[in-house]
Structure 1
Amino acid sequence: MVVREKFEHDLRDVQEQFLALSKLAISTLNNSIDALLSHDVDTALSIIENDYHINRREEEINDRVILLLAKQQPVATDLRRLIVMLKAAHDMERVGDYAVNIAKEAIRLGKADFVAPIKNIEEMRTRTINMLTEVMKAFIEEDIVEARKIAELDDHVDQLYGQTIQQLLHVGTENPQMLSQVTQLSFVCRYLERSADHATNIAEQLFYLVKGKHYELNN
């Protein structure tokens, strides 16, 4: 196998690893909200215990990319592709961290009834999971048209976040004894909002890969 063919083969392998990492992180985030909504402490504990799988996948991608940088000394687009892969993998690993944080909040909440409507949290989850899933596809296909659309969706998540925090603050004011749960649900909203931000980060990285310039897509 000639050098170029070997590089392209190794790069495809790294992309497959990134795809696997992304799917696992997105699934874990989705499961963490399921655990929260269904008061499923066992699932929440499992999410926390299995976090090392996501961390290990990111470490493997880092190792592969560093090895390719050292051995192949890629230039131009190939170099950007590898650097962007590192950053995107880190973004997905952070999504996994937020899933763990949500699982911890689910454990703290236990079996207690929710003091506020959780419709907005469910919608934030749906929109965030959609953003992450679509940006993953756009990243693999290097589709900047779709990447721009995904970044625009972040505004909707931000609006939902703001609305939900206002609702929770109102509940906390009216029911001071429920302030602990209000705080925990506020953290959950924040973790979802930050996960959506990481989808936007990946979209911006894709623009850098394709265009060779940094763009801020969510000003």
Structure 2
Amino acid sequence: MPLRNTLTRQINQIQDELLVLGSMVEHAALGAVDALKRRDVKAAKEIFEEDQQINEKRFAIENAILILMATQQPMAHDLRQLAAMLEVNTELERIGDYAKGIAKVTMLLGDADIPIPIQEIDQMAQLAVSMLHRALGAFVAEDVATALEIPKEDDKVDELYNVVYRLVVQTMISNPETIDLANLLMWVAHNLERMADRVTNICERTVFCATGELFEVNGMDEDDLNV
């Protein structure tokens, strides 16, 4: 029993660190879009440089998980938890990279004269971060119902992406000289769309933890699970 309690405590500690990493990533994503909205190159540079802290946190968590796997010989559900945490850890680091990419776009744009569909971009960011926050909560709680509901919101992110795409293309057509800059805005929308996709991956790992089944969760509900 003492060994069991120790393993559970260590797993909970790693989950707490994942939530810290998630908070760092959420801050980076919203901060990067806010810097773009305000055309604040200094703030964007800070977000860009802070990505190193996200990377360091990711590697620290990965190391802690691998040590636990090697020393505690987890079985069954515990092993699924640790394997899933490795995957979630990686997904969070990649979302941080997307935020870093958005910050870089702001740095490249500077004060260039180009319209930015910031309302739609901001909506994409708010929705993606909301999905991420709830997905991490569901992961820790092994809340399958929530994990299956969140990916359905990805359609809204895709719809906003399509709106941004059309608006940016219109800018390119009306002013071909802005094509290079407009492509940067396409990259922002792409990064936000990919953030939501990564959240879906986290939801899949939640279902895996709880049920031992691993599959795409888009369009599924609890009635589709063989549990």
TM-score bucket (shorter structure):
over 0.9
Identity %: 35
Equivalent residue number for residue 161 of structure 2: 161
Q: Distance in 2 between matches of 1:193 and 1:128?
A: 8
Kindly provide the CA deviation profile for residues 44-98 of structure 1, in whole angstroms up to 9, marking residues without a partner as x.
1111212111111111111111111111111111000000000001101111111
Matched, 1:186 2:186: yes
TM score, norm. by length of structure 1: 0.96
Matched, 1:23 2:26: no
Matched, 1:48 2:48: yes
Q: Distance in 2 between matches of 1:188 and 1:113?
A: 17
Deviation at 1:170, TM superposition (A): 2.0
Equivalent residue number for residue 63 of structure 1: 63
Deviation at 1:159, TM superposition (A): 1.6
CA-based RMSD: 1.3
Q: Distance in 2 between matches of 1:118 and 1:180?
A: 18
Equivalences, count: 219
Q: Distance in 2 between matches of 1:81 and 1:152?
A: 24
Q: Distance in 1 between matches of 2:189 and 2:100?
A: 14
Q: Distance in 2 between matches of 1:100 and 1:203?
A: 23
Q: Distance in 2 between matches of 1:162 and 1:112?
A: 24
Q: Distance in 1 between matches of 2:34 and 2:164?
A: 18
Deviation at 1:113, TM superposition (A): 4.1
Partners of 1:120 and 1:160 within 8 A in 2 = yes
Which residues of structure 2 form unaligned runs of 5+?
220-227
Which one-letter code corresponds to 1:34 in the other structure? D
Partners of 2:139 and 2:206 within 8 A in 1 = yes
Which residues of structure 1 form unaligned runs of 5+?
none
TM score, norm. by length of structure 2: 0.93
Equivalent residue number for residue 217 of structure 1: 217
Q: Distance in 1 between matches of 2:104 and 2:83?
A: 32
Equivalent residue number for residue 84 of structure 1: 84
Q: Distance in 1 between matches of 2:117 and 2:212?
A: 45
Which contiguous aligned blocks of 4+ residues in structure 1 show a shift greater than 4 angstroms? none
